[in-house]
Amino acid sequence: MTALLLRSARLGDRTRDVLVVEGRVLAIADDLSSGAPGLDGLPDPVEVVDLAGAALLPGLRDAHTHLEQWAAARRRIDVSAAGSAQEAAGLMAAALRAAPPAPGAVVMGHGFRDALWGEPATAAVLDAALAGVVPPDTIVVLGSGDLHTAWANTAAARRFDLSSPTGLVLEQEAMDLVARAARVDPAVLDGWVLEAAAAAAARGLTAVVDLEYGDLIGSWARRAGLREGGPALRVRAGVWVDRLEEAIAAGLRSGDPLPGVVDPVAADRVRMGPLKVFVDGSLGTRTAFCHDPYPGAAGADAHGVLRTPPEELERLLRRGSAAGLDLAVHAIGDRAAAVALDGFAAAGCTGRIEHAQQVHDADLPRFAELGVVASVQPRHALDDRDAADQHWAAATARAFPYRALVDAGAEIVLGSDAPVAPLDPWDGIASAVHRSLDDRPAWHPEQHLDLDTALAAASGGRRGVRVGDVADLVVVAEPPATVLARDGADGLRAMEVLATLVGGRFTHRAPGLG
C-alpha cells in the first residue's frame, strides 16, 4: 500500500489536507496530521508533501494529439513564421546553410500555413532557394501546420513518386509522404516521444488521446516497457480505419491494456483508445466540407472534400461500436459535422466529433440529443482566424462555436492537435477564455468559455478534487482565477506548474516542493 499526504493544499477558497492511498483520494480534511482519522491503518511513514497553499486541481487531459509528430516536429526546421512560399523556402535555406546536410539526406520542415499566401508552394520554389546550399540529391519535405498538406522539392517528389508534379500534395497522400520521409529508427523515435511526454507532464498533463498515424498499438506496447511505470502520461492509443480489422481480430476494446505490457503501473497507463474516421479535410487546405462554397472555388470540390461517404461512415461506426471501440470522427466543416451527426444517428451509437470547427445552428442541439462529445482545440481559432475570415467569410459566426455548443447542452473536451498547436493544456485553456494572440480584439468573443467551463473541459469534466477520485492531480502556484484576473490569458499560458501526479505518483515535481 502506498500513501501520500498533501498538506496545506488550496482547494477553492480553503486550504486543506488531501490523503492519497493506492492511487485514489481517500480523504480531504482541514487537518490530517499523523494520528488523525483517515490515517488509521496506513503504513508508517506516510510520505508527506507540504504544498504551502499552492492550488491543487484535477489533472489536465489533452483529448487529441499526434505524439510522434509532436516529438519529431520539435526537431524539424520551423517555418511557421513564413508569410509566403518564398519566405518558407528562405527559412529552409538559411537553416541548411548553417547546418549543411550530408548528400542524400532527408530534411524535414514543419509549420507552413499557405491559406493566405499569394503564390503557391511548389517544388520549383524550394529548388531555387536551395540551389547551391544543399547537394542536389537532398530530400526536402515540409509538413503544413494543420498536417493536411505536404510540400516537397523535386528530389523528394521523384523519390516518393508523388501524384502532383508541383510537389504539393493534400490529405492522405500528404500524411503518407510525411510518414515515409520522417521515418527514423523506432528506438530513436521512442526516446523522443517519452521525452515529449515528460515535458507535457511538466505542464500539468496527466492523460492524452494519441491519434497518430501508423501502428500505435505496437508502438505504445513497446514504449510502455522502456521505463519503470511506463510513460509520464496516461495514453489512449487510437487506431485508424486501415488497422480497424487488425484491432478487432486482436480482441482489443477501448480501455483495455495493450497486449504484452507486463508492468502493472504501465499497463494501467497505456490502454486502447478510439477508432478514428475522417469525414473531411481542413480549413488550411480548403478541403473542410462546408455548406458555403470557398470564395472563387468552382467544380466538384468547391465546398471541400467528403473523404468518407455517409454509407461508409455508418458501416465503420457500426463495426467499431459493435467491437467495443470508442469512436472519434474528424469533421471540420459544417456539412461534415452534419454528416458525422447523421452517421451516429443512423448507426445508433455515440462518440466524439473531432474539431467541430464549423457547426450549423440547426446541428448544435444534436450533439446533446445524440450524446456526441465535441472534441475541440481552442488554439486553432486563434491561429486560423485570418484564414477563416477569408475562406469562411459567410460563416465565421458559426466557426469554432464553443460557447454555442455548451449553451446547446453539448459536452466539450479540450485538446491541442499537437503539433498543430503546442502540447500545453494551459495554452488551450487560455485560448478558450480569450480568442486573441496579439493586440487585436478577441475574435468572435461571444464564443469565449468561462474559466470554470474551460478547466472542466480540460480535466475530463472534473470540477475540483473530490474524495474517491483517481489521484490524477496538478499543483499550481496560484489559483487559475487569480492569475487570469491579474495577468489575463497570457498569465494562464505561463502558469507555474509545481507538480503533476498520475495515479498518486509524481510525474513532475519542481525542486524544493514539500
What pLDDT band is residue 512 in, cutting at 50, 70 and 90? confident
pLDDT digit string, tens, across residues 357-372:
999 999 999 999 999 9
CA–CA distance, 288 with 384 (Å, rounded to integer): 13
The residue type of 359 is: V
Q: Which pLDDT belongs to residue 97?
A: 95
pLDDT digit string, tens, across residues 211-226:
999 999 999 999 998 8
What pLDDT band is residue 276 in, cutting at 50, 70 and 90? very high
What pLDDT band is residue 32 in, cutting at 50, 70 and 90? confident
411-419: average pLDDT = 97
CA-CA-CA-CA dihedral for 310, 313, 318, 320, to nearest 10: -170
SS3 assignment, position 287:
coil
pLDDT digit string, tens, across residues 461-506:
999 999 999 999 999 999 999 999 999 999 999 999 999 999 999 9
Among 169, 84, 162, 150, which residue's Cα sits nearest to residue 118? Answer: 84
State what percent of residues in the chain have pLDDT above 90: 91
Q: Which pLDDT belongs to residue 38?
A: 53
Q: Which pLDDT belongs to residue 343?
A: 98
What pLDDT band is residue 43 in, cutting at 50, 70 and 90? low
Q: Which pLDDT belongs to residue 227?
A: 86
CA-CA-CA-CA dihedral for 288, 291, 292, 298, to nearest 10: 70
Q: Tell me the pLDDT of the chain averaged across its residues.
A: 95
Q: Which pLDDT belongs to residue 299?
A: 85
Asked whether the beta carbons of 153 and 128 are under 8 A apart, the reply is: no
Is the pLDDT higher at 155 or at 514?
A: 155
Grid coordinates standing for 219? 508502438
What pLDDT band is residue 192 in, cutting at 50, 70 and 90? very high
pLDDT at 34 over 70: no
CA–CA distance, 501 with 56 (Å, rounded to integer): 11
CA–CA distance, 242 with 254 (Å, rounded to integer): 17
CA–CA distance, 253 with 323 (Å, rounded to integer): 7
CA–CA distance, 150 with 117 (Å, rounded to integer): 15
177-205: average pLDDT = 95
CA–CA distance, 24 with 301 (Å, rounded to integer): 52
First to last CA, the chain: 21
pLDDT digit string, tens, across residues 291-325:
999 998 888 889 999 999 999 999 999 999 999 99
CA–CA distance, 514 with 475 (Å, rounded to integer): 12
The residue type of 137 is: D
Grid coordinates standing for 422? 503546442
Rounded CA Rg of the chain: 23
SS3 assignment, position 355:
strand
- Residue holding cell 494551459? 426
SS3 assignment, position 284:
coil
CA–CA distance, 175 with 148 (Å, rounded to integer): 7
CA–CA distance, 387 with 146 (Å, rounded to integer): 12
What pLDDT band is residue 445 in, cutting at 50, 70 and 90? very high
Which residues make Cβ contacts (< 8 Å) with residue 287, sequence separation at least 6? 148, 170, 171, 280, 281, 301, 304, 305
CA–CA distance, 479 with 171 (Å, rounded to integer): 42
Grid coordinates standing for 303? 465546398
The residue type of 187 is: A
CA–CA distance, 411 with 457 (Å, rounded to integer): 8
CA–CA distance, 144 with 112 (Å, rounded to integer): 5
Query: Measured between alpha carbons, how far is residue 276 from residues 328, 354, 403 in Å?
Result: 5, 9, 25
Among 446, 369, 336, which residue's Cα sits nearest to residue 400? Answer: 446
Q: How many CB atoms lie within 10 A of CB 137?
A: 11
Instruction: Outline where 225-279 has alpha helix (H).
Output: 244-249, 264-269
Among 275, 402, 269, which residue's Cα sits nearest to residue 327? Answer: 275
Among 352, 348, 334, 229, which residue's Cα sits nearest to residue 292? Answer: 334
Grid coordinates standing for 61? 487531459
Query: Measured between alpha carbons, how far is residue 462 from residues 10, 43, 402, 434 in Å?
Result: 16, 29, 18, 21
pLDDT at 98 over 70: yes
CA–CA distance, 421 with 357 (Å, rounded to integer): 15
CA–CA distance, 494 with 501 (Å, rounded to integer): 20
Sign of CA dihedral 334, 338, 344, 350: positive
Q: Is the peptide bond before 45 cis (omega within 30 degrees of 0)?
A: yes
pLDDT digit string, tens, across residues 44-87:
678 999 999 999 999 999 999 999 999 999 899 999 999 999 99
Sign of CA dihedral 181, 183, 189, 193: positive
Q: Which pLDDT belongs to residue 383?
A: 95
Length of the chain: 514
Instruction: Outline where 409-460 has alpha helix (H).
Output: 425-433, 451-457
